[in-house]
Amino acid sequence: MSRLEMLEIQPYVTTAEPAWDIARLFPDQGDWSEADYLALDTNHLIEYSHGNIEVLPMPSDRHQAIVGSLFGSLSELARSVGGVNRVAPLRIRLWPGKIREPDLLFLASASDPRRQNQFWSGADLVVEVVSPDDPERDLMTKRREYAQAGIPEYWIVDPRTETILVLSLAGASYRERRYGRGEQALSVAFPALVVDVSAALDAI
């Protein structure tokens, strides 16, 4: 084999670096506006917090199975009360400068003016399945934010502890009730919403 032939079959090797030229087309962290964020065209889960964007990890198969199971329960509730439910990615604007993408969102009325095409400006119930990369985001940070935004009910499904935490707003903070395997998680605001914890955690 000639030297030329050897060069032709050798793979081109280069040092991997981020595509800085592309990155420089976007604002620096801290300088993002809501308009910048809303203009993003991506299939990644990205949330917005006071000038910063937060790129969330892609959900696992089990995560999506749990979300799918709960989506079915919320769909039944929506049909019974004339409401509407959605699954991520759909943005909810908690207040100016703070936009999240809950795993599930629910409004008791499909004609609620908070239901907007680009994002919702509120919800009657949201659900998060705890992400293993940063459990405190769902357990603490979003708990505080959703309460501050006045969302009446927040469900946290935690596959690690195999529990569903139902949080109902009382004043400025949430009261909680924890349900485990073999129990039925019960909504405070919507008595018709009853979820078998084991069935949700074992969804396939």
Query: What confidence tens digit (pLDDT) does each residue in 64-78 have?
Result: 999 999 999 999 999
**Out of 20-29, 109-118, 166-175, 180-189, least confident range:** 20-29
Nearest to 125 by CA among 180, 83, 159, 179: 83
pTM: 0.85
Q: What percent of the chain has pLDDT over 70?
A: 90
Nearest to 178 by CA among 157, 196, 163: 163
SS (H, E, C) 88-141: CCCCEEEECCEEECCCEEEECCCCCCCCCCCCECCCCEEEEECCCCCHHHHHHH
Nearest to 149 by CA among 173, 165, 130: 173
Dihedral angle, C-alpha 70, 75, 76, 79, nearest 10 °? 160
Q: Exposed, middle or buried, 111 (CB in 10 Å: 0-12/13-18/19+)?
A: exposed
Asked whether residue 14 carries a pLDDT value surpassing 60, the answer given is: no
Asked whether residue 160 carries a pLDDT value surpassing 60, the answer given is: yes
Under the banding of pLDDT at 50, 70 and 90, the label for residue 40 is confident
- CATH code of 61-201, in short, is 3.90.1570.10
| Dihedrals phi, psi of 147, to nearest 5 degrees | -65, -45
pLDDT in tens, 106-159: 999 999 999 999 999 999 999 999 988 999 999 999 999 999 999 999 999 999
Q: What percent of the chain has pLDDT over 90?
A: 70
Give the chain's mean pLDDT. 91
Distance CA 20, CA 28 (A): 12
pLDDT in tens, 52-61: 888 888 899 9
